[in-house]
Amino acid sequence: SSSIDVAVIPGDGIGPEVVAEAVKVLQKVADDAGLGVSLTEYTLGAEHWLTTGETLPDETLAALRQHDAILFGAVGAAPGDTRIPSGLIERELLLKLRFSLDHYVNLRPSKLYPGVPSPLAAPGVVDFVVVREGTEGPYVGNGGALRTGTDQEIATEVSVNTAFGVQRVVKDAFRRAAQTERKKLSYVHKHNVLVHAGHLWKRTVEAVAADFPEVTVDYLHVDAATIFLVTDPARFDIIVTDNLFGDILTDLAAAITGGIGLAASGNINMDRSAPSMFEPVHGSAPDIAGQQKADPTAAVLSAALLLDHLGHPELAARIGRAVEQDIAGRSELGPRTTSQIGEAIIAALS
Ligand code: NAD
Ligand code: IPM
Ligand code: MN
């Protein structure tokens, strides 16, 4: 269509700083292409909870559902902040959005751009995508604590894996793998120990693989996957894994490809029964918030994923090229502010 309707949730900490740049870039490429953009900002997050006591009211969730997509910054308090119970905002806002809007594919591309210093001496060509399951696993909140605060306390956090949930994300990962040049799928779990969930994943991958004979399948236990992400990240093409393993692997993936400030993600509802949500992999970074020190590139690339999802791959690619060009020149530049990087990306649009 000739216009898109985007909800914007800047959030806490560096969220508003990086989202401001992503919005500028989004607006610029849309304007140039004659694509209308309607932006509606929603004030949510830890700060909002402190002043109102609201996390995600039902009316707000209902309003968010009406948009084509959501651009999200980051939420959450500083880990040591005692005014907010740890996990409240994460669970009641961010995870509530991912679960309610059925974001079952958490897409996290990882690419080592030319010119980016990697902490690895010889990383090789690093260009892979993690397909992280987004609605199940240990994230669902299935657990509890008994005898809290006593020496007899028992705390459980039960990982929920359904055949439906595992199948749909595994199928999605195979479809993506079938479209890459290398056609390689690595599935990561820990089925040597987590035999109940792990075997469901294993059987599911084996069953779906039969429909994709062109895809080479490789399995790694998650601990070994962390080794290879450091020693041989070029071996990966598409990685599919559960919610918690995917969370951990994608911070590591960001670190080896130039840092968390570059890592974008999409929380995607592939059935399009609700809007998908695009956000940097990083959090609210309280240690650098409000100082214009955050790199907005991850947020900008998340806006590109949003455009791609809404059927504008050429606009997404235009942002990708500008980011690539900006990144290539970074080593010659000194430190830049968040908005200087945003402006430079806009200037690099070609
Ligand atoms: P974090 O990602 O916020 O920060 C980790 C480190 O990376 C910090 O040193 C930070 O300064 C740096 N960093 C992060 N983004 C950066 C950027 N764009 N440019 C430069 N440096 C950047 O992780 P954390 O400290 O574990 O979490 C802080 C808060 O954010 C917590 O409340 C956490 O729950 C929340 N969190 C939210 C999301 C989200 O909203 N999607 C994601 C992760 C963490
Ligand atoms: C991420 C974050 C979230 C996650 C938290 C804040 C709930 O770490 O988006 O990677 O674990 O998914
Ligand atoms: Mn994370």
- Both tokens of 34, joined, read 């004659």
Say what the alpha-carbon torsion angle 233, 234, 236, 237 is, to the nearest 10 degrees: 140
* 190 belongs to the catalytic site: yes
Nearest residue to 115 via CA among 332, 336, 327: 327
Superfamily covering domain 1-103+266-350:
Isopropylmalate Dehydrogenase (3.40.718.10)
Residue with the nearest Cα to atom 1 of ligand 1? 283
Q: Which residue type does 229 have?
A: L
* 218 belongs to the catalytic site: no
Domain boundaries, given as residue ranges, for the chain: 1-103+266-350, 118-257
How far CA 57 is from CA of 5, 44, 92, 314, in Å, comes to 21, 10, 10, 36
Ligand 3 being an ion, which residues bring their Cβ within 5 A of it? 247
- Both tokens of 276, joined, read 């998908």
Q: Ligand 1 mean position to 239 CA, how many Å? A: 23
Q: Counting beta carbons within 10 angstroms of the beta carbon of residue 347, is it exposed (0 to 12), middle (13 to 18) or buried (19 or more)?
A: exposed
| Torsion angles phi and psi, residue 276, rounded to 5 | -85, 165
- Both tokens of 247, joined, read 């969370």
| Torsion angles phi and psi, residue 135, rounded to 5 | -125, 0
Regarding pTM above 0.90, the answer is: yes
The residues pairing with 156 across neighbouring beta strands, listed in sequence order, are 144
Residue from 68, 104, 190, 308 carrying the catalytic annotation: 190
Q: Which residue type does 223 have?
A: D
Evaluate whether 132 touches 250 at the Cβ level (below 8 Å).
yes
* Distance separating alpha carbons of residues 346 and 120, to the nearest angstrom: 30
CATH class, 118-257 region: alpha beta
* Distance separating alpha carbons of residues 108 and 111, to the nearest angstrom: 10
* Distance separating alpha carbons of residues 195 and 177, to the nearest angstrom: 26
DSSP state, 95?
I
* Distance separating alpha carbons of residues 285 and 30, to the nearest angstrom: 29
Residue with the nearest Cα to atom 1 of ligand 2? 281
The one-digit pLDDT tens for each residue of the chain (350 residues) are 699 999 999 999 999 999 999 999 999 999 999 999 999 999 999 999 999 999 999 999 999 999 999 999 999 999 889 999 999 999 999 999 999 999 999 999 999 998 898 999 999 999 999 999 999 999 999 999 999 999 999 999 999 999 999 999 999 999 999 999 999 999 999 999 999 999 999 999 999 999 999 999 999 999 999 999 999 999 999 999 999 999 999 999 999 999 999 999 999 999 999 999 999 999 999 999 999 999 999 999 999 999 999 999 999 999 999 999 999 999 889 999 999 999 999 999 99
The residues pairing with 3 across neighbouring beta strands, listed in sequence order, are 36
118-257 has the same fold as 1-103+266-350: yes
